[in-house]
Amino acid sequence: MSLLAPHFKLEPASCYVDARCPRYKVVVPAEVDLAPLLPYLNAVAKVIYYDPGEPALVFKFEGLKVAVRRDNVQIGPVPDAEVGRRAKERVEEFLERVWARKENISPRYEPRSLPPPLEIYRRLPGTNCGRCGELTCMAFAVKLASLEAELSDCVPLYETPEFEEKRRELEALLA
Ligand code: SF4
């Protein structure tokens, strides 16, 4: 039996980081209760947020955010239905693969969330040098907080000895 229904709908998605980005999310009903899958996803996916009480889990997948709840999966942002359909297929394939391998995965039941951008920003060099591709350290912190950037993109953290302690703190914070 499939985890997800074959059909989906597009809904408007808010995008607070970049006003030019696509503004839809794919909403796919579940065919089964997805709650038992979440601890396994929590063990293997790039998890942004996991609340076992809700239960809900959000993870990063091929540049998309995927939110999994008991009765549906939401994927976004996507620009149109065709891109949404392909994203749905890839996410579904990933979820099915995790479920099929669950005997070999140690589930993680503890809640998870990434640190808020301000906590990250306080530990960045604060020079706004732009070498990470962002205009400011704060913009980079926002991207790090949603797994849209890698810490190693901030080159000064790695090549300037005076930032070594901050880098260690950030590595621990984002681990
Ligand atoms: S490379 Fe680092 S120091 Fe430079 S703007 Fe980006 S986050 Fe700030």
Whole-prediction pTM? 0.77
The reply to whether 125 and 98 lie within a common domain is: no
At 110-164, the pLDDT tens digits run 998 888 999 999 999 999 999 999 999 999 999 898 888 889 999 999 999 999 9
Residue 3 lies in a domain: no
- Which residue's alpha carbon is at the smallest distance from atom 7 of ligand 1? 137
Give the domain CATH number at 142.
Answer: 1.10.15.40
Q: Is the CB of 140 under 6 A from ligand 1?
A: yes
User: Can you tell me the mean pLDDT for 29-52?
Assistant: 96
Residue numbers of the domain that contains 91: 9-112
As for how many domains the chain has, the answer is 2
- Which residue's alpha carbon is at the smallest distance from atom 6 of ligand 1? 132
The reply to whether 22 and 73 lie within a common domain is: yes
155 CA to centre of ligand 1 in angstroms:
7
127 CA to centre of ligand 1 in angstroms:
6
What's residue 22's pLDDT? 62
Order of strands, sheet of 64-69, starting from the edge strand that comes earlier in the sequence: 9-12, 24-29, 72-78, 64-69, 56-61, 46-51, 112-113
